[in-house]
Amino acid sequence: MRSGSVVGLESSKKQFKFDHVFGPEGNQEAVFAQTKPIVSSVLDGYNVCIFAYGQTGTGKTFTMEGTPKNRGVNFRRYELCVSMLEVNNEKTRDILVDNTNQPTKK
């Protein structure tokens, strides 16, 4: 996850800080658990970007997309559903549908 480098002026050693490191036992659920608060902050009005970075073949696509049986971050995020209905003279109309003749979505 996020890293910041501290380079010692008199040494070639580099230190990196990470918010979290996943071990070999880390799975899709564990990765999502770490990203969940970031995703939730969208609802508080923050702009969020989650991206995978690394050498080819290291699992970026697997982590973000996953497989149908083992979904990654992109598929575990929240799904927001919004509906807007107008109720007028005991008639209900879906105002998100352009065609007014179309029946109300359920």
Ligand X SMILES: Nc1ncnc2c1ncn2[C@@H]1O[C@H](COP(=O)(O)OP(=O)(O)OP(=O)(O)O)[C@@H](O)[C@H]1O
Judge contact between 16 and 4, C-beta under 8 A. Answer: yes
Q: Report in angstroms how near the CB of residue 72 gets to ligand X at its nearest.
A: 9
* Distance in angstroms (rounded) separating the CA atoms of residues 8 and 21: 23
* Distance in angstroms (rounded) separating the CA atoms of residues 86 and 81: 17
What are phi and psi for residue 11, nearest 5 degrees?
Answer: -140, 150
Residue with Cβ nearer ligand X (18 or 22): 22
Judge contact between 61 and 70, C-beta under 8 A. Answer: no
Structure-token match 């005991």, residue found = 90
SS3 16: strand
Q: Report in angstroms how near the CB of residue 18 gets to ligand X at its nearest.
A: 18
Q: Report in angstroms how near the CB of residue 1 gets to ligand X at its nearest.
A: 16
- Residues flagged as binding site for ATP: 54-61
> Which of the residues 8 through 67 are near ligand X (CB under 6 A)?
54, 56-62
- Residues flagged as binding site: 54-61
Residue 74 within binding range of ligand X, rule CB under 6 A = no
Q: Report in angstroms how near the CB of residue 67 gets to ligand X at its nearest.
A: 7
Residue with Cβ nearer ligand X (33 or 42): 33
Which residues contact ligand X (rule: CB under 6 A)?
54, 56-62
